[in-house]
Amino acid sequence: MRKQKLALLGLAMIFCQQGYSQAKKGSVLNRGGVAPALTPAATRAATLAMKAAPGPKQRLSEVASLMGNGNYEKAAQLLYVLMRRQEMAPFATRMRYLLGVAMTEMKYYQVAAFQFVHVIKSNDSQYLKPALERLSVAADYLGDETLLNYALSKIQVADFPAAYQDILFFRLGEIKLKNGEFDEALKSFAKVGAQSKYRDQARFKLGLTLLEAQRPLDAIKVYLSMLEQKSNAKVTDVNRVSTILALARSYYQAKKWDESIEFYRKVPRDTEMWHDAMFEVSWAYLQSAKFRSSLSNFQTLHSTYYEEFYLPESLLLRGIIYLYICKYDEMEKVLDLFEKSYGKVRSTIAELINDTKDPIFFFEELERAAQYRKNHGKINFKIPFNAAKHILDEGDVHRSMEYLRLLMIEKNRLEKSTFGKTAIGQYSLKIIYNRLKNSKQTIGELIKDHLIIMNAELGDLAEQGSFARYEMINGRKEQLKKKIAGRSATQQIDEDRQRSFYIQNGYEYWPFKGEYWLDELGSYQYLGKQSCE
């Protein structure tokens, strides 16, 4: 019966096409300019065909049936065909929404998101809220901040189903924190339910918000509570170690140096965070005047094993400690090492940002650096590898690269599947290819921005290094004077100079402007006493 219907419909279309073609040529027009009537047989065939052809509602029912049976591939293929038909135009929003749902169920989140954005822009009240819900879920999976911000700007939290509200509260908190709206961020993070998969992240971000709001003692309470809940976790559990590091940083911001040192030392060696902890605890040692412990750390940090890490300020900090204890020869070696190691990095970065306009170049360089970090192959980098590695760990770049990775997963799945060879599959690939291209451009621009910042910071550090070298020369001179005069070589740094002297001359001693801690606690300086023997 189905074949008969299709045959009749095809026959009717042929008759219509023939009538149109003949009318166009004028070969069968009567004298009045009107085409002659179809033969009775042709009329009956056309009538039967029109009756047999399913209407829009029937086709949409067929789509619903396919989706109800979990056959999302066929449903998507049918929807793509129907969306291109003029008689289905009144149902365009509904079809877009259903296509988005089908693509979500097949885990093609980027293609699904594209459909939901179209639905939202249509302002169809029937599908607006469900489309926003679905878009928020897709954007959350992809980690696409642009899509999330778009979705959140269009909906009230109260209108969101309870099952999805935790996503909304958590992401709203992140946006508020990024915008410096700390009170609003705290409220949003606090609303994430105890059973939510976002609970740990929300608690961690709540503590971070308190630190940003200059409330370290409150942040310490939050992190201590989190650490207690992780008492049964493995020593190297990522969440547990992250909490320990957050506690160390919180105590540091509260200027409780001994407690800060205690938690820094609890970070396990066989975790990725140990290197950061080793560097940061050196500052805590310096603040509590434990120079020997700080220097001991630098022996590790500046070993060959860590030569690929970008830590220019650590060399200058080591030099400052040598200044405090009057080890001028050692200080000079460290300052020379800084100039040798980072002078070339700075000049290379400056040349790249001045001469290179194409953001894809920066993206491709960083992508190669990421591959090298995985496989440790031998590659000649145009961006210094330690700088590229540092940028890879920056929050915005890391999130963007993760988004790109998820896009590549969708692309590869489509290309390898039979679904990808269908019309809707090819349409989906076009969407993903476009997003990949735009994302690489965006990441390239982000990388260039970070290189510009690094170039400026290296310039500041070089200037501070020159100032430290001046202090070294001055210290040597004073030491020599006292030796000639037969006086004791014991002296105190800044004995006659107040902090205002350095500030008036454009310096903070020691400013540590190059710090990139994950929680960005701020810049710290140390005006200590020197005892030279």
Mean pLDDT of the region 331-353:
91
Q: How far is CA 363 from CA 105, 196, 357, in A?
A: 32, 35, 12
pTM: 0.72
Give the Cα separation of 176 and 362 in Å (integer): 30
Q: What is the DSSP string of 144-183?
A: -HHHHHHHHTT--GGGS-HHHHHHHHHHHHHHHHHTT-HH
Mean pLDDT of the region 304-316:
79
Contact present, 460 and 513 (Cβ < 8 Å): yes
The length of the chain is: 533
Report which residue type is found at 234: K
**Residue 481's pLDDT is what?**
79
Q: How far is CA 19 from CA 22, 32, 44, 95, 394, in A?
A: 5, 16, 15, 33, 67
Mean pLDDT of the region 409-437:
95
Give the Cα separation of 115 and 99 in Å (integer): 7
Q: How far is CA 294 from CA 283, 287, 303, in A?
A: 7, 10, 15
Contact present, 421 and 341 (Cβ < 8 Å): no
> What percent of the chain has pLDDT above 70?
77
Give the Cα separation of 103 and 276 in Å (integer): 41
**Residue 377's pLDDT is what?**
55
Average confidence score pLDDT of the chain = 79
**Residue 15's pLDDT is what?**
33
Cβ neighbors of 443 (< 8 A, separation 6 or more) are 359, 362, 363, 366, 397, 400, 401, 404
Between 378 and 122, whose confidence is greater? 122
CA-closest candidate to residue 328, choices 485, 473, 470: 473
- pLDDT single digits (tens) 175-205: 889 889 999 999 999 999 888 888 999 999 9
**Residue 402's pLDDT is what?**
92
**Residue 320's pLDDT is what?**
85
Window from 56-60, 222-226, 464-468, 486-490 with minimum mean pLDDT? 486-490
Cβ neighbors of 143 (< 8 A, separation 6 or more) are 399, 402, 403, 406
Window from 17-26, 174-183, 239-248, 383-392 with minimum mean pLDDT? 17-26
Domain residue extents for the chain: 2-53, 302-514+528-533
Mean pLDDT of the region 448-454:
94
* Residue 353 pLDDT exceeds 80: yes
Q: Residue 158 burial (CB < 10 Å; 0-12/13-18/19+)?
A: exposed
- pLDDT single digits (tens) 200-242: 999 999 999 999 999 999 999 999 999 999 888 898 898 999 9
* Residue 355 pLDDT exceeds 50: yes
**pLDDT level of residue 9 (50, 70, 90 thresholds):** very low
Q: How many CB atoms lie within 10 A of CB 13?
A: 13
Q: How far is CA 23 from CA 10, 19, 27, in A?
A: 20, 6, 7
